[in-house]
Amino acid sequence: MMRVPTPPLHVAVALDGAGWHPAAWREPGSRPAELFSARYWADLALEAGRGLLDFITFEDSLRLQSADRAQPDERTDQVRGRLDAVLTAARVAPLTRSVGLIPAVTVTHTEPFHISKAIATLDYVSTGRAGLRVQVSARHDEAAHFGRRSFPPARPGDPGDPAAPQLVSDLLEEAGDYVEVIRRLWDSWEDDAEIRDATTGRFVDRHKLHYIGFEGRWFSVKGPSITPRPPQGQPVVTALAHGSAAYRLVGRAADVGYVTPQDAGQARGIVAGIRSAQAAAGRAAETVHVFGDLLVFLDGDAARAADRKARLDDLAGGEHVSDALAFTGTPAQLADLLQDWQRAGLSGFRLRPAAIPDDLAHITRGLVPELQERGAFRRAYEAATLRGLLGLPRPANRYAPA
């Protein structure tokens, strides 16, 4: 019986400060003095591009980083503060050529009109390599920055999210409407709405700009956008999904969902849940990628990788706990795990380098060549846009005549 070849993997990296381990900034070569410089982020993006990665994500939040997931802390021995993710992506976009750029955006307290034009602008600046990661916030301290809504404060000692499940479910439903609004705004200009004819004095065809007329529980948006339709038509929408309510958001609204299984069996069940949500949203025929998130400590020798993790944990005062599986080992061992989980239904992976630059370099210069030798990863960029890299078609404009 002929064996069906496995499709090549998609590989992305999630960038956050000096790395995802809270003590990463204390590693040799971590460049802590440059975390708020454009050059630092440009160097990381260029390294990702040299590794032919699909895209990079930029973490962001409306609060300072905290060792306590439920509330702020008073620690001064860990990185605190970050640059705006959308603006950082826009700054490094002209310096890169092929890698996709996906900033995180907290949609709970921002307006979809503003974000739609910010991401459309990023798509223009990057010539078709933009996306966004939609995230919600149920935190009392973040809501207090804006004064327009309030959430219950965290209970002392309460692990995990302080919000009630119904509140989180509502916020994710709101995020689904948010994505619908920005997608409509991206389509509110037809592709050929701009005439730019100096001879006749016609710059735009007003009949090809459309009101979107969205009316929902959380938003009422008339449109059209003030930014022409992005080069990709629709930049790539992504979301991190923990649990069934978030699976519904991915199934309804996203092009890529990030998930955090602990093993291949759990990955298989999560993929099934997202596919069910996708079908319920009427999108069964569309491509929706499911990427596994992994925190990675990599080295050419597995023992050295374990030693580095132990040293970082000691510096942080305890073992770092992540929502994603923490992988410690060699690039070849990681490649084995990725291919095992791919067989469980995942189409790609978003890797979180525990410490930059070490783990990022082991991804681009160790893991990528290993996957290439196995025929499991590209040897050159095969498309000029992020949608093209991910095998997503450029969608037709919903408002243009058929």
Angle, alpha carbons 358-360-363 (nearest 5°): 110
CA atoms within 13 A on the CB side of 232: 31
Residue 211 located in a structural domain: no
Summarize pLDDT for 276-295 with one digit per residue, the tens. Answer: 999 999 999 999 999 999 99
Summarize pLDDT for 340-352 with one digit per residue, the tens. Answer: 999 999 999 999 9
Summarize pLDDT for 136-150 with one digit per residue, the tens. Answer: 998 888 988 898 888
- How many angstroms separate the CA atoms of 26 and 31, rounded? 9
Quote the DSSP letter at residue 93: G
Q: Give, to the nearest 10 degrees, the angle between helix 244-253 and helix 264-280.
A: 50
Range of the domain at 54: 10-173+236-389
Q: 31: alpha, beta or left, given left = phi > 0 and alpha = psi -120 to 50?
A: left
Q: In the prediction, which pLDDT does 2 show? A: 40
Counting Cβ atoms within 10 Å, is residue 207 exposed (0-12), middle (13-18) or buried (19+)? exposed
Q: State how far the alpha carbon of 167 is from the alpha carbons of 151, 163, 171, 216, 258, in Å.
A: 9, 6, 6, 18, 21
Residue 44 located in a structural domain: yes
Summarize pLDDT for 3-60 with one digit per residue, the tens. Answer: 446 789 999 999 999 999 999 999 999 999 999 999 999 999 999 999 999 999 999 9
Q: Are strands 194-197 and 202-204 parallel, antiparallel or unpaired?
A: antiparallel
- Among 227, 221, 291, which residue's Cα sits nearest to residue 255? 291
Summarize pLDDT for 219-247 with one digit per residue, the tens. Answer: 999 999 999 999 999 999 999 999 999 99
Q: In the prediction, which pLDDT does 3 show? A: 46
> What mean pLDDT do residues 87-101 have?
98
Q: In the prediction, which pLDDT does 153 show? A: 80
* Arithmetic mean of pLDDT over the chain: 94
| Sign of the Cα pseudo-torsion (82, 86, 89, 94, in order) | negative
Burial code (b: 16+ CB inside 10 Å, e: under 16) for 348-366 equals: bbbbbbbbbbbbbbbbbeb
Residue 266 located in a structural domain: yes
**H runs (alpha helix) in 317-391:** 331-343, 358-362, 368-373, 386-389
Res 1 pLDDT > 50: no
- How many angstroms separate the CA atoms of 382 and 238, rounded? 21
Q: What is the number of domains present in the chain?
A: 1
Q: Are 225 and 113 in contact (CB under 8 A)?
A: yes
**Beta bridge partner(s), residue 320:** none
| Sign of the Cα pseudo-torsion (307, 309, 315, 317, in order) | negative
Residue 402 located in a structural domain: no
Q: In the prediction, which pLDDT does 5 show? A: 63
Residue 368 located in a structural domain: yes
User: What is the number of H-type helices and E-type strands within the chain?
Assistant: 12, 13
Res 157 pLDDT > 60: no
Residue 225 located in a structural domain: no
Q: Percent of the chain at pLDDT above 90?
A: 87
Burial code (b: 16+ CB inside 10 Å, e: under 16) for 144-162 equals: eeeeeeebeebeeeeeebb
Burial code (b: 16+ CB inside 10 Å, e: under 16) for 368-379 equals: bebbeebebbbe
Residue 191 located in a structural domain: no
- Among 373, 386, 149, 402, which residue's Cα sits nearest to residue 289? 386
pLDDT band (50, 70, 90) for residue 69: confident
Q: Are 364 and 50 in contact (CB under 8 A)?
A: yes
Q: What is the CATH number of the domain that holds 328?
A: 3.20.20.30
Summarize pLDDT for 245-271 with one digit per residue, the tens. Answer: 999 999 999 999 999 999 999 999 999
The CB density around residue 179, as the number of other CB atoms within 10 Å, is 21
Residue type for 400, please? A
- Among 370, 388, 392, which residue's Cα sits nearest to residue 379? 370
Residue 206 located in a structural domain: no
- For 332, residues 6+ apart whose C-beta sits below 8 A from its C-beta are 370
